[in-house]
Chain A
Amino acid sequence: MVEEEGFQRYLAHIILWIGIAIVAFPVYLALVASTQDNAVIANGQMSLLPGGHFLETYYQTLFVGTSGSTREPVLNMMLNSLIMALLIAVGKIAISIISAYAIVYFRFPFRMAIFWIIFITLMLPVEVRIYPTYKIVADLHLLDSYAGLSLPLIASATATLLFRQFFMTVPDELLEASRIDGAGPFRFFWDTLLPLSRTNMAALFVILFILGWNQYLWPLLITTRDDMQTIQVGIRKMITTTDALTEWPVVMATALLAMLPPVFVVVVMQKLFVRGLVETEK
């Protein structure tokens, strides 16, 4: 074992705490701001300690929204974000696992061609094809709908690749065995493959949920109605008005509410999160 001298060890602790402080400071500031009076903040007199407006601000944020003309309760925005994130995560896993199953466990004409068609989508994020995609979604009358929010973001190959690689590691004997038991492709998939994939699915779900919840550009483009806004889009609209009118405590409360679900998932399901992150990075 390499000896770590006492001083080195103290230094490591200090550097790590400085790192944590840098990482946490903006969020602490948001928390403090969300409990103070807007007039004080707008004067640049904000205190670094929590104020007494916690309940008031969060009640207003969740159930009423800003005082502006386009008020929209943040709870509703969170619900939209949740539906979108779940649709993206579940949808992507569902369509990917069955297509990976077909590609690994069947031989059929154009199998590799289909695999490549799916694989290439890995390379291009939605940002580079926003307007043409917008036009298609508009032509399909999917603007301001949950389908429009989630379908274009489901079109990607990461999950398919992951399941394909996992299926390749499943021993052939399992298929032989279930065949002897008289299982067809459906039973084998449902009784054998799916239970084996549970951890992979969970890890993938964690990552996809976070990515889905945090989508911004796409929802910004295709939602026009206030009641279809996701929280990421909603928060931006809160600071569009001239600075003097921005209700900073509400904005900061919204920021904290926007990060709460994904941060919770990362902290509580850390193992799955790390696994999903490492595996989805090709």
Chain B
Amino acid sequence: MQKQSIFQSKLLPYALVAPQLAIVLIFFYWPAAQAVIQSFLLQDAFGLSTSFVWFENYLELFKDPAYFAAIVRTFAFSFAIAVSSLSFALLLAVMADKPLRGSTLYRTLLIWPYAVAPPVVGVLWVFMLHPSLGVLSRYLRAMGVDWNPLLNGDQAAALIILAAAWKQISYNFLFFLAGLQSIPKSVIEAAAIDGARPMRRFWTVIFPLLSPTIFFLLVINIVYAFFDTFGIIDTMTRGGPGKATETLVYKVYTDGLLGGNLGSSAAQSVILMVIVVVLTGIQFRFVERKVTY
């Protein structure tokens, strides 16, 4: 697609793209290239000499059980966050899609958590479920649960998943509601005339028509769980206890912070880049929201 009617100028267009190009090259391509180059290098312990080691940093990573565990953990977290947040948001969206009094108020009251920053989400939830002073922990203990996410890795993981899913409800709700509202009412009426009860109407008519939205949101939620949970994890558990809540992004952060192995940290970054590119590719391919060139 191209404009037929355009301006003629030799230098002006370059001047117009220059600021963005400069920023993108300096703060995007240069660091990305650095990460790739670094990932093929090995520095000795004193930082005096560097040698080119091909894929050794990558091989080391894949041989490292801790890294493998972080990959599995990250995918498990993403899946748990996406499924719990999506199903709850879908339930709310189906309810809000009905012709109810006060539906705009409901929408307003459900979408604002989108604006709460991940570290703040972490602080709110850590306070609510703090082992010694959390309000909800009292009830959990009264029910006989030995609640202590500071020591129990599974509980810490559950805490992260809950908090991360909570934040994402509003986003999913908005997109589900938009998806539901775009389904023609006549289709649903036709099913109703055929005698389908509400539950049946939902599973046989609405749900299949909503599948593009579901798939789109699934990818978005996985990307969210990969990257945006950093702030939640950092304020709630710092990846602990042990490494029970250390995701791939958090591992890049801590490994780099300790300043230990630059090559390994860079290799981890490159692997993350590949994962994002693949996820974005899947999204573009299957969810026909193509950008026109």
Contact = CB atoms under 8 A, between A and B. Distances in A.
A76 interface: no
B153 interface: no
B37 to A, nearest CB: 9
Q: Is the interface of B mostly helix, strand, loop or mixed?
A: helix
Contacts of A29: 124, 127-128, 135
B79 interface: no
Interface string A5-46: 000110111011001101111110110010000000111101
Interface string A108-150: 1001001101110111110111111101110000000000000
Interface in B220-245: 220, 227, 230-231, 234-235
Interface string B1-30: 101111111101110110111011111111
B38 A132 contact: yes
A16 B95 contact: yes
A3, A46, A216, A278: residue with the most chain B Cβ atoms closer than 10 Å: A216
Given A168-B3, A235-B235, A259 B127 contact: no
A2 B227 CA distance: 42
A259 B13 contact: no
B27 A136 contact: yes
Contact of A20 (B34, B106, B130, B235): B106
Contact of B9 (A4, A106, A130, A176): A106
Nearest to B279: A123
A243 interface: yes
Contacts of A152: 27-28
A83 interface: no
A48 B289 CA distance: 46
B247 to A, nearest CB: 11
Given A111-B13, A125-B276, A266-B111, A236 B235 contact: yes
Given A29-B127, A243-B132, A262-B115, A95 B3 contact: no
B231 A278 contact: no
B19 A95 contact: yes
A131 B123 CA distance: 26
Contacts of A181: none
Interface in B124-138: 124-128, 130, 132-135, 137-138
A239 B122 CA distance: 11
A2 B192 CA distance: 7
A99 B20 contact: yes
A119 B169 CA distance: 29
A155 interface: yes
A78 interface: no
Contact of B119 (A168, A184, A236): A236
Interface in B40-97: 88, 91-92, 95-96
Interface residues of B, number: 105
Interface of B: 1, 3-10, 12-14, 16-17, 19-21, 23-32, 34-35, 38, 88, 91-92, 95-96, 98-100, 106-121, 123-128, 130, 132-135, 137-138, 166, 169-171, 174-175, 178, 185, 188-189, 192, 198, 216, 220, 227, 230-231, 234-235, 249, 252-253, 256, 262, 265-266, 269, 272-273, 276-277, 280, 283-284, 289, 291-293
21 contacts: A11-B95, A16-B95, A20-B106, A23-B109, A26-B128, A41-B133, A105-B3, A118-B24, A129-B28, A131-B265, A133-B31, A161-B291, A176-B5, A185-B7, A188-B7, A216-B230, A216-B231, A235-B119, A262-B117, A266-B115, A273-B111
Interface of A: 1-4, 8-9, 11-13, 15-16, 19-20, 22-27, 29-30, 33, 41-44, 46, 48, 94-96, 98-99, 101-108, 111, 114-115, 117-119, 121-125, 127-133, 135-137, 151-152, 154-157, 160-161, 165, 167-168, 172, 175-176, 184-185, 188, 210, 213-214, 216-217, 220, 232-233, 235-236, 239, 243, 248, 251-252, 255, 258-259, 262-263, 265-267, 270, 273-274, 277-278, 281-282
